[in-house]
Structure 1
Amino acid sequence: MIAGFLVVTSAWAMRVSPMVSELTTSGAGSAARIEVGNVGSAALPFETRITRMDIDADGNIVETLADEDFLVFPPQGVVPVSGRQVVRVQWIGDPAIDVSRAYYLWVKQLPVATDPDVAEGGGAVAVQVLYTMKALIVVAPPGAQPKVEIVSVRPAMVTPPAPEIDPSLTGGQPVAAPPAEPGVEIVVANSGKRYALMSGATWIVEGTDKAGQPFRREYNSDEVSQTVGVGYLAPGGGRRTFKLPTGVELDPAKPVTLRFGR
């Protein structure tokens, strides 16, 4: 009997750019050009799909298929090694939407035969590492603007985001959450007609620590994005709760404020 062995093909990789596109409901701005790049060592076949993205106050994302809202060309393709393929995404949905909507363009790598010359019943078994990437596409009516309001800011113990680890590397066991640390819990709302990406602003938190000393910390966009991601805030009354670490425990009996800068 010929013993088989496992070969993991890890050279497959793709890049998708840009990761965020903003469209209007009509005119030249109603189409986006998304570039799929092949940085692997073999041809990269792919297919696309569109999902609508809705998000609740706790940041939980719900996706529903929405291919009918866009014309995507080409919907499938093959990118040669070191090559690029431009995918055109055209809005064909309701031109009179009242508030902005968010979608994901999925770019999914397809499996292909890895070694057609291996004899049946023996030899190598190849496992392809397939990639799927998602680009955020937001469609907004002309002239729509966000209107972000701070609902509340209070001291709280916050838990940093857990690292994303392939379940196969942990035997299927969940990854332990990092320990909680002092921080602030922030609730914001958007009563405007256009979404807001909260990671695009500088966040400035001020208050008083438990020792009675003034506290001020400025979080730049990179620091915010590491904690809250892009911080997508839906229009039309969308509300989100964000949690930021402060490094020191703030006095809940004293005012705690937040303002946004640039």
Structure 2
Amino acid sequence: MTASTILARPWRMLLAVAAALMLLASPALAMRVSPMVVEMESRGSGAVARIEVQNINPGKLAFQTRVFRMELGKDGEIIETPADDQFLIFPPQGALPAGGRQVIRLQWVGEAEPATSQAFYVSVEQLPVAFEPGSNEAVGAQVQVLYNMRALVVVAPPGAKPDVKAASVRQLDYQPPAPPGATELPPMQDGVEVTLRNDGRRHAMMSNFSWQLEGTDREGKWLRVDVSAEELNRAVGTGYVPAQGERSFKLPVPGFGPGPIKLTFKQ
């Protein structure tokens, strides 16, 4: 049995536990937005896309849309600026009955030839709805919980391509974030920190690939770990790396020593 096979089991167990914790802690949402990731181009037929909003609440759902330009720092910190003027959105707001659906049309009206990909959040924000007289809600405290769901929308220049390389890969003990609803932080995690550099004009979604990590363990023995695209999605989401930018990811892959680690992407 290879080191790759041995480590595959705890890696999958860690991801499964994390996913289960997130599912158990997630509140029942009043709406569903799909898809959550949209890739567009700045001109041609690719400059138009669609997002569907579904009301999964037993009552009426009113919503509005807003757009924010999103810029990512190296460690994933997000800087947002309003950008409603970059898209035509129809309808910009609406009201859905229980179980109702609405398709929202997005049309890019920004630069036809941007220098690089640009990332945005299309925010679908639930609006307060007046309670009907005589309903159980109207008789009670009249407290409404309003939800805000966001779709990542990335607009790329036609023909642009990503050019992603590993800038650094190293073993790292790090503090994982607490699962939703937890009151204490989880224990420190033995893992790997990967910094990716994209020199291309187009963004990259790196969890579309599987990753292969090769190096040595703490005793100097050869070690390889294969991480599937599905596992990456659970650990780092889309693995979005901005055009001509860097992004760092922390992966719960234990066992590597302080020596160099080689990273290979596989389709």
TM-score w.r.t. structure 2 length? Answer: 0.84
Q: Distance in 2 between matches of 1:26 and 1:12?
A: 35
Question: One-letter code of the match for 1:41?
Answer: P
Q: Distance in 2 between matches of 1:113 and 1:12?
A: 19
2:213 aligned residue (205, 209, 217) = 205
**CA gap 1:140/1:11 in 2 versus in 1, 3 angstroms:** closer
Work out whether 1:244 is the aligned partner of 2:237: no
Name the residue aligned to 1:162: 178
1:127 aligned residue (140, 143, 165) = 143
Cα deviation, residue 214, structure 1:
2.0
1:140 aligned residue (147, 156, 160) = 156
Name the residue aligned to 2:260: 255
Cα deviation, residue 231, structure 1:
1.8
Cα deviation, residue 123, structure 1:
4.8
Work out whether 1:74 is the aligned partner of 2:81: no
Give the 4+ runs in structure 1 shifted more than 6 A: none
Q: Distance in 2 between matches of 1:11 and 1:261?
A: 37
Q: Distance in 2 between matches of 1:75 and 1:24?
A: 21
Q: Distance in 2 between matches of 1:95 and 1:40?
A: 39
Three-state SS of the structure 2 residue aligned to 1:68 is helix
Kept in 1, the 8 Å contact 2:33–2:52? The answer is yes
Three-state SS of the structure 1 residue aligned to 2:142 is strand
Kept in 2, the 8 Å contact 1:11–1:42? The answer is no
Q: CA RMSD in A?
A: 1.9
The number of aligned residues is 239
Return the structure number with greater helix share: 2
Return the structure number with greater strand share: 1
Name the residue aligned to 1:111: 128
Q: Distance in 1 between matches of 2:222 and 2:70?
A: 40
If you compute each CA radius of gyration, which structure gives the higher value, 1 or 2? Answer: 1
Cα deviation, residue 136, structure 1:
0.8
Q: Note the residue ranges of structure 1 that are not aligned, 5 or more in a row.
A: 1-9
Work out whether 1:24 is the aligned partner of 2:41: yes
Kept in 1, the 8 Å contact 2:192–2:254? The answer is no
Q: Distance in 1 between matches of 2:96 and 2:75?
A: 38
**CA gap 1:27/1:123 in 2 versus in 1, 3 angstroms:** closer
Q: Deviations over 1:90-133 (max 9, x none)?
A: 10111121111000110011111224348xxx952122222110
